[in-house]
């Protein structure tokens, strides 16, 4: 898993992204401002060197710079002789990548994603019109958030045909990926030289093109790591519609479906019985909770019986809980700050020290937030060689990554992850944080929701995408079980897959 975490940082370093060290984690209590560069105008984009933009787009899309060409007439880059990115949008992305927080690569705004409106130029051929209609049906049949609609007015994008291909048979369809602002600034274009394709092939290349239009890049064709690989999908998927030379329509693969749902989550929450003040998921194991019944040490401790779908109380009391390790055991912090781990016998083993929060990893690595005030919150410790080893920085919430390092939230909501030496800031603001045992990260954000508490977000490899609903505390199983939250009414909900 340490390799995956390294890849996570590579994704964060495109262009000149600033990876802020622990000095940033120890700022005062002033609410931080999100760092966003102003949009680049067409005139300003002219000063960005084409070669620099080509190299940047190659890194953004996980491709070789030689696969990125520039058309000075239309002022657009063409990736793999297929994907179109305007020079202005490329400059916008490179400019924004120089700030500490960024929107991330190619995703549509939520309002656009829910109904992507495409119109077709009047003189386009009936064969391509039918093929687009069929491609749209396939994407819509997935039943997710992404929905396409062919319209005659009010479109987001137009399907046109090239009037300057001049017999060039090296490409069949060209399409834009979403701009930095989350919409389209170029058309979907078919090549008249590709009119010879069968109806099924036309449909296949358009299904592929629509995939690029929602932000999917090509599926890996070698064993080399691809920076834009989506969590939970295989590096190699030979039947994927996002293969570079995909034509014959044969249907979506499981990974195609996972990728679309990962970028644009469509599921909802399923309420569980009972009430809880905190929850903790153990890898492949039980869901634990701090309930709402006052007992010595804080509140009651429970585990969820999946057979009978009820919470079962065990002896003991606490205010914060975590679970992990080979024994999938819960650890608690009680209302006096004392730390305990539950043994297989049912007894609670006390640990030295005091804490305000605790996190336990898949491998049993235990981290705590102490009780000594420091800039950023309270002291941070990891259990090493039989004692709590002090780490740099301060925090108020903590979780443990699959590789054993910690991810924290400080007292102004900033998020940091430990690199073995220091805490490095990543984008976003949070109240609580959770790491699943398989590289999926979640936060309770800081946007108030109409009910439930605050916004819920999932890390997409370069930015946080908001999930529906609201909560106050969060934990996470491995996929596909996903996150579990409690809200401001102490209700418990699990992501419904």
Confidence class of residue 407 from pLDDT cuts 50, 70 and 90? very high
pLDDT in tens, 111-165: 888 899 999 999 999 999 999 999 999 999 998 889 999 999 999 999 998 887 7
| pLDDT, averaged across the chain | 84
Task: Measure the CA–CA gap between 275 and 289, rounded to whole angstroms.
Answer: 9
pLDDT higher at 349 or 167:
349
Q: Which of 118-132, 199-213, 251-265, 343-357 has the lowest mean pLDDT?
A: 251-265
Owner of token pair 């950023």: 376
Q: Which of 101-105, 327-331, 364-368, 490-494 has the lowest mean pLDDT?
A: 101-105
What pLDDT, on the 0 to 100 scale, is given for residue 478? Answer: 82
Strands (E), 83-141: 83-86, 116-120
β-strand partners of 395 = 378
Report the candidate in 129, 108, 134, 107 with the shortest Cα–Cα distance to residue 119: 129
Domains recognised in the chain with CATH numbers: 36-103 (no CATH), 105-266 (3.40.390.10), 268-496 (2.120.10.30)
pLDDT higher at 309 or 7:
309
What pLDDT, on the 0 to 100 scale, is given for residue 227? Answer: 45
Task: Answer whether residue 36 shows pLDDT above 50.
Answer: no
Angle value at C-alpha 339, between 333 and 344, nearest 5 degrees: 100
What pLDDT, on the 0 to 100 scale, is given for residue 34? Answer: 31
**Radius of gyration, CA atoms only, the chain:** 25
Task: Measure the CA–CA gap between 252 and 206, rounded to whole angstroms.
Answer: 13
Confidence class of residue 392 from pLDDT cuts 50, 70 and 90? very high
Task: Measure the CA–CA gap between 199 and 207, rounded to whole angstroms.
Answer: 12
For range 341-348, the mean pLDDT: 97
Q: What b/e readout covers 204-215, taking b as 16+ CB neighbours within 10 angstroms?
A: bbbbbbbbbbbb
Phi, psi values for residue 390, rounded to 5°: -70, 135
Owner of token pair 């109240």: 431
Per the CB < 8 A criterion, the answer to whether 472 and 397 are in contact is no
What pLDDT, on the 0 to 100 scale, is given for residue 64? Answer: 83
Task: Answer whether residue 208 shows pLDDT above 90.
Answer: yes
Two structure tokens written together for 413? 């909501």
Two structure tokens written together for 462? 């370069």
β-strand partners of 409 = 397, 415
Owner of token pair 């396409």: 148
Two structure tokens written together for 455? 């916004």
Which of 126-135, 175-184, 267-276 has the highest average model confidence (pLDDT)?
A: 126-135
Confidence class of residue 98 from pLDDT cuts 50, 70 and 90? very low
- SS3 assignment, position 295: strand
Task: Measure the CA–CA gap between 328 and 284, rounded to whole angstroms.
Answer: 8
Kindly give the interhelix angle for 199-213 and 126-140, rounded to the nearest 10 degrees.
Answer: 50
What pLDDT, on the 0 to 100 scale, is given for residue 258? Answer: 84
For range 177-192, the mean pLDDT: 90
- Report which DSSP code applies to 141: T
> Element (H or E) spanning 142, and its range?
none
pLDDT in tens, 128-143: 999 999 999 999 999 8
CA dihedral 38, 227, 185, 428 (to 10 degrees): -40
Task: Answer whether residue 477 shows pLDDT above 60.
Answer: yes
What whole-number percentage of the chain has pLDDT above 70?
Answer: 84
What pLDDT, on the 0 to 100 scale, is given for residue 462? Answer: 63
Task: Measure the CA–CA gap between 81 and 56, rounded to whole angstroms.
Answer: 17
Confidence class of residue 496 from pLDDT cuts 50, 70 and 90? confident
Task: Answer whether residue 336 shows pLDDT above 70.
Answer: yes
For range 256-267, the mean pLDDT: 81
Which of 89-103, 264-278, 357-371, 475-489 has the highest average model confidence (pLDDT)?
A: 357-371
pLDDT higher at 466 or 227:
466
Report the candidate in 198, 201, 200, 117 with the shortest Cα–Cα distance to residue 159: 117
- Report which DSSP code applies to 341: E
Task: Answer whether residue 77 shows pLDDT above 70.
Answer: yes
- SS3 assignment, position 66: helix
Q: Which long-range contacts (CB under 8 A, 24 or more apart) does 343-351 make?
A: 346/314, 346/315, 348/315, 348/316, 351/383
Task: Measure the CA–CA gap between 54 and 60, rounded to whole angstroms.
Answer: 10
What pLDDT, on the 0 to 100 scale, is given for residue 221? Answer: 53
Task: Measure the CA–CA gap between 237 and 219, rounded to whole angstroms.
Answer: 7
Give me the numbers of helices (H) and strands (E) for the chain, helices first please. Answer: 9, 32
Chain centroid to Cα 196, Å, comes to: 40
For range 279-304, the mean pLDDT: 94
Kindly give the interhelix angle for 50-61 and 87-96, rounded to the nearest 10 degrees.
Answer: 70
pLDDT higher at 372 or 497:
372
Q: Is 409 left (phi over 0), alpha (psi -120 to 50) or beta?
A: beta
For range 402-425, the mean pLDDT: 95
Residues ≥6 apart with Cβ < 8 Å to 431: 397, 409, 413, 443, 444, 445, 446, 454, 472
Q: Cβ of 127: how many Cβ atoms within 10 Å? A: 14
pLDDT higher at 41 or 287:
287
């Amino acid at each position: 898993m340490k390799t995956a975490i390294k890849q996570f940082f590579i994704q964060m370093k495109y262009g000149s992204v600033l990876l802020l060290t622990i000095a940033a984690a120890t700022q005062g209590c002033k609410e931080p401002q999100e760092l966003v560069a102003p949009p680049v105008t067409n005139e300003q984009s002219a000063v960005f060197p084409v070669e620099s933009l080509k190299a940047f787009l190659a890194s953004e899309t996980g491709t070789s710079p030689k696969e990125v060409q520039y058309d000075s007439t239309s002022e657009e880059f063409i990736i793999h002789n297929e994907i179109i990115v305007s020079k202005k949008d490329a400059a916008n992305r490179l400019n924004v990548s120089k700030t500490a927080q960024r929107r991330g690569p190619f995703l549509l705004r939520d309002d656009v994603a829910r109904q992507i409106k495409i119109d077709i130029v009047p003189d386009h051929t009936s064969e391509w019109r039918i093929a687009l209609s069929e491609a749209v049906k396939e994407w819509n049949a997935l039943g997710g958030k992404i929905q396409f609609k062919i319209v005659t007015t009010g479109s987001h994008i137009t399907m046109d045909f090239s009037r300057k291909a001049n017999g060039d048979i090296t490409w069949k369809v060209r399409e834009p990926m979403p701009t930095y602002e989350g919409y389209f600034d170029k058309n979907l274009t078919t090549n008249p030289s590709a009119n010879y394709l069968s109806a099924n092939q036309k449909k296949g290349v358009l299904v592929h093109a629509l995939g690029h239009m929602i932000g999917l890049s090509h599926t890996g064709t070698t064993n080399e790591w691809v920076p834009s690989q989506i969590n939970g999908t295989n590096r190699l998927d030979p039947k994927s519609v996002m293969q570079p030379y995909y034509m014959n329509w044969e249907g979506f693969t499981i990974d195609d479906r996972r990728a679309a749902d990962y970028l644009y989550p469509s599921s909802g929450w399923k309420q569980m019985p009972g009430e809880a003040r905190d929850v903790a998921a153990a890898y492949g194991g039980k869901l634990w909770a701090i309930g709402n019944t006052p007992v010595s040490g804080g509140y009651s401790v429970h585990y969820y019986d999946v057979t009978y779908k009820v919470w079962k109380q065990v002896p003991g009391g606490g205010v914060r809980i975590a679970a992990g390790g080979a024994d999938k055991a819960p650890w608690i912090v009680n209302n006096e700050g004392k730390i305990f781990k539950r043994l297989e016998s049912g007894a609670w083993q006390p640990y030295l020290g005091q804490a305000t929060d605790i996190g336990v990893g898949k491998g049993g690595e235990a981290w705590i937030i102490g009780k000594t005030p420091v800039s950023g919150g309270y002291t941070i410790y990891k259990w090493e060689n039989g004692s709590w080893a002090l780490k740099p920085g301060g925090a108020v919430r903590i979780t443990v990554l699959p590789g054993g390092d910690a991810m924290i939230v400080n007292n102004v909501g900033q998020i940091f992850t430990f690199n073995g030496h220091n805490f490095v800031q990543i984008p976003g603001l949070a109240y609580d944080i959770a790491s699943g045992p398989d590289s999926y990260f979640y936060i309770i954000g800081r946007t108030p929701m109409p009910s439930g508490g605050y916004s819920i977000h999932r890390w997409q490899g370069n930015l946080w995408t908001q999930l529906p609903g609201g909560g106050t505390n969060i934990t996470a199983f491995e996929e596909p079980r996903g996150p579990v939250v409690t809200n401001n009414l102490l209700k418990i909900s699990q992501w419904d897959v």
